Structure 1
């Protein structure tokens, strides 16, 4: 989670001031209060607020690391909260992570690594070779690749084509061709690439029009949203949701951690 700079500074300042407030309040309680400046119970007078601000400014000037420490603490707490939320979301949606007819499944090992990806996503394209290497080098991993076409019409077109290619048992072949292609993603180009992948292009077009495929893809998108996934690629392994592109070393580390737990 990213904090806006102004919000982080304000929150950090309040954290910094918190230990000082009781002393200020006690000191001010015995001081005369100007007419019209009486604070409501539980509130500070304008003079007290000014004194708090002065103390905060002085502390930050004398030791700027205080603000950095406060921001780091806020971020750590946000990360912990996010991890708890992710585990709760996984518990609610664990059954929905099982592979469906719309998913490409590689391997049959005891650790399942689920990837949510968009075929047009450049980071997903970058990760694909490392996923291939992981599956080829570790027979104890099952890779489940769930399409979530979230980058526009071209993504939807290619996602539907990959799912439809699965009906001819050529989903992986078409996936790899599409995700390494730099041409214009339109119907004419798709037919040509489908033929390169060994597909019957006419049948592919008919299958792509099946409403069941659109429903499958929408179900994947809904699942990603339920898990709090907002970008691609994102991975689910054991009780962790890992956003962003992972290289081969990071993928192996995530799988090893799942085996340990």
Structure 2
């Protein structure tokens, strides 16, 4: 990191040197002398480095979105809420044991109530332990009983962690066939969905939940309904 900041600082120093005229060691000495005389240059260099990193990440993300758009938005193996024929797709990567994902629940409900032309694609991304994996598998399996929507909101509203016992209790409360649910949880399409979520999240550069893809925008972290609506409107305007 120190070397990277020194490299960035070179571009901010008030003099120019030619590599043929000075050794690398002497260039470093001059840069360090400049830093000692102008300490604020370190913060400028750090900011420049941060901006360069963000620009590179944005470029990589744009390339991934171009390649993976169909998988993100039209994967037949991913649950869809809202309007299935909506003109803007919101993709959410989430974990049932993520407290921020649970806080997104009312925000997502507000978005769906405010905009009837939004479709939401859910990417189950269980990264917070075995309970998360069990919950994700159960939720995906519930599609075979036509219960995903109801079950999803029930799991998001759990008190305490999503574990096998609490997930099964939630399934019972909404009238699901538990024996069928347990069988369906082992179907190959369940594992395929989870592995695809892992691959897409890594490729995009997401590091935690919740994370959203809305049009060409990436929104890692907790966002509220107003922010979602703004990004949806932006995506709609770009269509």
TM-score with structure 2 setting the length: 0.87
Structure 2 residue 54 is the aligned partner of structure 1 residue 79 = yes
Cα RMSD (Å): 2.4
Deviations 1:136-155 (A, max 9, x none): 11011111111111222111
Structure 2 residue 142 is the aligned partner of structure 1 residue 165 = yes
Q: How does 1:23-62 map to 2 (within 5 A)?
A: 41=20, 43-44=22-23, 49-60=28-39
Which residue does 1:35 correspond to in 2? none
Q: How does 1:13-32 map to 2 (within 5 A)?
A: 13-17=9-13, 19-22=14-17
- Quote the offset at 1:243 in angstroms: 1.3
Which residue does 1:239 correspond to in 2? 216
SS in 1 for 2:96: coil
Which residue does 1:33 correspond to in 2? none
Distance, in Å, in 2 between the alignment partners of 1:226 and 1:111 is: 22
SS in 2 for 1:113: strand
Query: Retained in 2: the 8 A contact 1:86–1:240?
Result: no
Which residue does 2:159 correspond to in 1? 182
Q: How many residue pairs are counted as aligned between the two chains?
A: 236
SS in 2 for 1:16: coil
* Structure 2: runs of 5 or more not aligned: none
Which residue does 1:149 correspond to in 2? 126
- Quote the offset at 1:202 in angstroms: 1.7
Deviations 1:221-243 (A, max 9, x none): 22222222222111112222221
Q: Which runs of 4+ in 1 moved over 4 A?
A: 6-9, 40-43, 45-49
Moved more, 225-234 or 247-256: 225-234
Which residue does 1:122 correspond to in 2? 99
- Quote the offset at 1:95 in angstroms: 1.7
Distance, in Å, in 1 between the alignment partners of 2:201 and 2:59 is: 17
* Structure 1: runs of 5 or more not aligned: 26-39
Moved more, 71-80 or 88-97: 71-80
SS in 2 for 1:146: strand
Query: Retained in 1: the 8 A contact 2:135–2:164?
Result: no
Distance, in Å, in 2 between the alignment partners of 1:7 and 1:198 is: 61
Distance, in Å, in 2 between the alignment partners of 1:48 and 1:77 is: 22
Which residue does 1:99 correspond to in 2? 75
Structure 1 or 2, whichever has the larger Rg, is 1
